[in-house]
Amino acid sequence: MLLLTCTGVSFAHGSNDGQKGMGLIMLILIGTVPTADALNHAISASQTGDFVASSQATVAVLHSHVPPNAVTGEPKSELTDYVRTREIKASTILAFEEVVNDLSNELRIYKQLKSVPDSQTPNIRNNMYLASEALRLMKKAGNPQFTAAEWATLWRSRWVWRPCSGGSGSW
């Protein structure tokens, strides 16, 4: 319906390319921006269980790399700082562990993504994205030093998180 309306407006306005361009920009924004806060509600309860299990495996790997002196304030803020600055601090891995553990616990409570209340959807979606991006940056930097088996566990989790949050990847 939106595509037909925008096409109709484009023809009605004739040769005014500026308005056609703005119509196309609006079509793109209206069509894609809402997915930023979307969770894939087609994920079944068993797939949500896979998400929880994968996240718990990630928590175990991360926990083994948390420095003994690590203390974290607000985990999400600290992980966001890491993504922004790409500087690992003593508390970064602990913050990462806490964000993934919180995601796992929330989805364990709701059992399915379609049961997540609308008020929690942006929070869960953003945490999935944040964890996925932090992991990508850690792999790219090679810091911290994870074994090949640990990377396999961590990378598998990343690909489990992305489909849940509407990202690319498949099950």
Same domain, 59 and 21: no
Mean pLDDT over residues 93-112, rounded? Answer: 84
By the 8 A CB rule, do 171 and 165 touch? no
By the 8 A CB rule, do 82 and 59 touch? no
Same domain, 90 and 122: yes
pLDDT tens digits, residue range 40-59? 666 667 777 777 888 888 88
pLDDT tens digits, residue range 116-156? 777 766 677 787 888 888 888 888 888 888 888 888 888 87
Of the candidates 149, 51, 130, the one whose C-alpha atom is nearest the C-alpha of residue 92 is: 130
Same domain, 117 and 66: yes
Same domain, 94 and 138: yes
Helix locations, the chain, DSSP H: 2-12, 17-32, 45-63, 75-85, 92-110, 121-141, 148-164
> Would you give the DSSP letter of residue 14?
T
Domain coverage including residue 12? 2-37
